Amino acid sequence: MPHASAPRPAKRPTLADVARASGVSVALASIVLREAEGASGESRARVKQAAADLGYRPDSRARSLRSSRSRTLGLALALGEPLHAELADALYAQADQSGFEIILGATGRHRDERRVLNTLIDAGVEAVIGVFPELPAAQLVQVSKQLPVISLLRKVKGIPSVITDEAAGVEQVVSHLVQRGHTRLLHLDGGSAVSAKQRRDAFIESAARASASASGQILPAGPDEATAFAVLREYLEKMPQAERATAVLAFNDRAALGARQAIDLAGLQVPEQICLAGYDDSEFARLAHADLTSVRQDVAALAQAAMQAALNSPGASSTHAPQLVVRGSTGQRRA
Amino acid sequence: MPHASAPRPAKRPTLADVARASGVSVALASIVLREAEGASGESRARVKQAAADLGYRPDSRARSLRSSRSRTLGLALALGEPLHAELADALYAQADQSGFEIILGATGRHRDERRVLNTLIDAGVEAVIGVFPELPAAQLVQVSKQLPVISLLRKVKGIPSVITDEAAGVEQVVSHLVQRGHTRLLHLDGGSAVSAKQRRDAFIESAARASASASGQILPAGPDEATAFAVLREYLEKMPQAERATAVLAFNDRAALGARQAIDLAGLQVPEQICLAGYDDSEFARLAHADLTSVRQDVAALAQAAMQAALNSPGASSTHAPQLVVRGSTGQRRA
DNA sequence: CACTTTATCTAGAACGTTCTAGGAGACGCT
DNA sequence: AGCGTCTCCTAGAACGTTCTAGATAAAGTG
Residue B145 has pLDDT above 90, yes or no: no
Whether chain B has a CB inside 8 Å of the CB on A34: the answer is no
- If DSSP states are collapsed to H, E and C, what string results for B263-297? HHHCCCCCCCCCEEECCCCCHHHHCCCCCCEEEEC
Instruction: For chain B, give percent helix, strand, coil, nearest 5.
Output: 45, 15, 40
* Total H helices, total E strands in chain A: 13, 12
Residue A81 has pLDDT above 50, yes or no: yes
More confident residue, A130 or A261: A130
CATH architecture for residues B166-298+324-330: 3-Layer(aba) Sandwich (3.40)
- If DSSP states are collapsed to H, E and C, what string results for B107-164? CCCCCCHHHHHHHHHHCCCCEEEECCCCCCHHHHHHHCCCCCEEEECCCCCCCCEEEE
Strand C near-CB residues (< 7 Å), B 35-74: 36, 56, 58-59, 62-63, 65-67, 69
pLDDT, tens digit, for every residue of A317-333?
A: 999 999 999 998 997 54
Q: Return the pLDDT at A20.
A: 93
| DSSP per-residue letters across B218-238 | EE---SSHHHHHHHHHHHHHH
pLDDT, tens digit, for every residue of B248-292?
A: 999 999 899 889 888 888 888 888 899 999 999 988 788 767 789
* Cβ contact, residue pair B65, A64, below 8 Å: no
Residue B113 has pLDDT above 70, yes or no: yes
pLDDT, tens digit, for every residue of A90-112?
A: 999 999 988 899 999 999 877 88
Rounded distance between C-alpha atoms, residue A268 and residue A250, angstroms: 17
Residue B98 has pLDDT above 80, yes or no: yes
Q: Return the pLDDT at B247.
A: 92
Mean of pLDDT over chain A? 88
| Percent of residues, chain A, with pLDDT higher than 70 | 95
pLDDT, tens digit, for every residue of B185-220?
A: 999 999 888 889 999 999 999 888 877 677 888 999
Residue A42 has pLDDT above 80, yes or no: yes
More confident residue, A258 or B131: B131
Which residues in chain A are contacts of B120 at CB distance < 8 A? Answer: 103
pLDDT band at B10 (very low <50, low <70, confident <90, very high): low
Nearest to A229 by CA among A176, A179, A266: A266
Q: Return the pLDDT at A290.
A: 76
* Range A126-135 average pLDDT: 94
Residue A301 has pLDDT above 70, yes or no: yes
Residue A309 has pLDDT above 50, yes or no: yes
Which among A69, A72, A79 is the top mutation candidate for probing chain B, defined by the most B β-carbons within 10 Å of its own β-carbon? A79
Domain A68-164+300-320 and domain A166-297+324-330, same fold? Reply is: yes
Contact B330, B177 (CB under 8 A): yes
CATH code assigned to B67-164+300-320: 3.40.50.2300
Residue A293 has pLDDT above 90, yes or no: yes
DSSP-derived letter for residue A246 is S
Shortest distance between the Cα of A58 and any Cα of chain B, in A, equals 8
* Range A22-29 average pLDDT: 94
Report the CATH fold assignment for A68-164+300-320: Rossmann fold (3.40.50)
Residue B94 has pLDDT above 80, yes or no: yes
More confident residue, A250 or B212: A250
* Cβ contact, residue pair A124, B3, below 8 Å: no
Which among B14, B67, B81, B104 is the top mutation candidate for probing chain A, defined by the most A β-carbons within 10 Å of its own β-carbon? B104
* Range A168-172 average pLDDT: 93
pLDDT band at A209 (very low <50, low <70, confident <90, very high): confident
Q: Return the pLDDT at B7.
A: 39
Element of type H or E holding A275: strand A275-277
* Candidate from A162-176, B47-61, B282-296 with smallest mean pLDDT: B282-296
Boundaries of every domain in chain B: 15-58, 67-164+300-320, 166-298+324-330
The class of domain A166-297+324-330 in CATH terms is: alpha beta
CA distances (Å), origin A128, targets A131, B265, B290 = 10, 45, 38
Q: Return the pLDDT at A3.
A: 36
Q: Return the pLDDT at A10.
A: 58
Q: Return the pLDDT at A1.
A: 36
Rounded distance between C-alpha atoms, residue B243 and residue A214, angstroms: 52
